[in-house]
Amino acid sequence: MNKSGNGHHMVSATIQEGWSIMPMTEMGIFIQTRYVDSLLGTSDTTPRKTSRRPIPVHLLHTPAAIITSLRLYSTKPPAPAVDMTPSLTHTDPKTGHATMVNVTPKPATHRTALAAGRIVLPPSTFRLLSRGAVNKKGDVLTVAQVAGIQAAKRTGELIPLCHPVPLTHVGVRLWLDEGSGSEGKEGQECCVRCEASVECVARTGVEMEALTAVSVALLTVFDMCKAVGKGMQIEGIRVLEKTGGKSGVWKWDGADEANEVVGGKIGMEGEGKP
């Protein structure tokens, strides 16, 4: 007991003499060595050189213990929830008023659109067209083709919130389709089919231009044939395909079947082609 007490006294005296400025690891080794020497009765009053013997792992205060005890957290606020509900792009969500979509931030990309439709004719009217009868206003299909091209270029003036797009190509094609029966047979859907393709390099698409071209072309056929058959019906006007822009390529579900009938191709004969 006396030896143990002397050892404790010597450790305190040693710390008071200035050994407390030693690094904590070396100081721990020194104190441990002094304590063991005091128990064995081998201690003296002369400071000894600290031992480099390894310290048992359980006596060490490892940084890993500190790291694993830390609570990880972030001060970054959570991202606001994104409303994925579909909305009308031409309506201001705050006021409900009509507005023109701002496409300024969008990059200009190559865009195309293909649209189609038809006008169903009475058999008598269809026979006149199939025989090449010339209307007083001119060749029906040729005039309708020119009308469709002109309409595509003026879509921005006809549709209030549609952007005026610099078109690089407009193609309009019309042809006779006698249906599944013989030419002019009663009960068959004899019709004139129309297809329009439009291209541009712009910040917005040209679906409206293609639809306008088809619509006006078929209206022109109606106007030029109404004298011989007022029971005509315009139907099936739709976009078959569009490319370019953020949404990329889009095809109507029945586009493949429709293309077999109308021969749909982007880049038909018309303005913009040599």
Single-letter residue type at 65: A
Count of beta carbons in the 10 Å neighbourhood of residue 39? 12
Place of tokens 């095809």: 251
User: What is the DSSP pairing of strand 270-271 with strand 167-177?
Assistant: antiparallel
The CATH architecture to which 109-271 belongs is 2-Layer Sandwich (3.30)
Task: Tell me the C-alpha to C-alpha distance, in Å, between residue 161 and each of 101, 142, 203, 250.
Answer: 8, 30, 15, 22
Q: Which H/E stretch holds residue 9?
A: helix 2-16
Residue pair 212/224 in contact by the 8 Å Cβ criterion? no
* Of the candidates 106, 241, 94, 79, the residue with the CA atom closest to the CA atom of residue 163: 106
The 10s digit of each residue's pLDDT in 142-174 is 999 999 999 999 999 999 989 999 999 999 999
Cα angle at 65 between 60 and 68, to 5 degrees?
170
Give the catalytic positions in this structure: 223
Q: Where are the domains of the chain?
A: 2-63, 109-271
Q: Which amino acid is at 105?
A: P
* Per-residue pLDDT tens digits for 168-193: 999 999 999 987 544 445 445 899 99
* pTM exceeding the 0.85 threshold for the entire prediction: no
